[in-house]
Chain A
Amino acid sequence: MSWLRGLRCRECHATYPIDALFVCEECFGPLEAYYDETARNAHVTRENIANGPRTLWRYHDFLPSEYTPRVDLNDGWTPLLRAHNLGRELGLNNLYLKNDTVNPTFSFKDRVVSVAAAKALEFDLPALACASTGNLAGAVAAHAARAGLPSYVFIPADLESAKITSAAIYGATIVAVQGDYDQANRLATEAAETYGWGFVNINLRPYYAEGSKTLAYEVAEQLGWRAPDAVIAPVASGALYTKINRGFEELYEAKLIAGPLPKMLGAQAAGCAPVAHAFGRGTREITPVKARSIAKSLAIGNPADGRYAIDAARKSDGGVFSIPESAVAEGMALLARTEGIFGETAVGVTISVLKKLADARALDPDATIVAYLTGNGLKTSQVIDNVAQKRIDTEPNLEAFQEQFEPKVFAVA
Chain B
Amino acid sequence: MSTKIKIPTPLRRHTNGLSTIEISASENVRGTLHTLTAQYPTISERLFDGQGQVKTHINIFLNNEDIRFLNGLETNVKDGDTVVLLPALAGG
Contact = CB atoms under 8 A, between A and B. Distances in A.
Interface residues of B, number: 26
Given A29-B57, A179-B64, A193-B8, A303 B90 contact: yes
Nearest to B57: A28
Contacts of B34: none
Interface string B60-92: 010010101100000000000000101111111
**Which of B57, B61, B64, B84 is the most central at the interface, judged by chain A CB atoms within 10 Å of its CB?**
B57
A268 to B, nearest CB: 13
Interface string A294-311: 000111101111010000
Contacts of A201: 89-92
Given A23-B57, A28-B57, A189 B86 contact: yes
Contact of A288 (B11, B68, B91): B68
A202 B89 contact: yes
Chain A interface helix/strand/loop/mixed: loop
Contact of B92 (A24, A288, A300): A300
Contacts of B9: 193
Contact of B13 (A25, A131, A305): A25
A236 interface: yes
Interface of B: 6, 8-11, 13, 19, 46, 55-59, 61, 64, 66, 68-69, 84, 86-92
B89 A189 contact: yes
A329 interface: no
Interface of A: 11, 22-30, 131-136, 179, 181-183, 185-186, 189-190, 193, 201-202, 205, 208-209, 236-237, 239, 285, 288, 290, 297-300, 302-305, 307
Contacts of B13: 25
A303 B56 CA distance: 11
B55 A28 contact: yes
Given A11-B57, A181-B92, A302-B59, A186 B69 contact: no
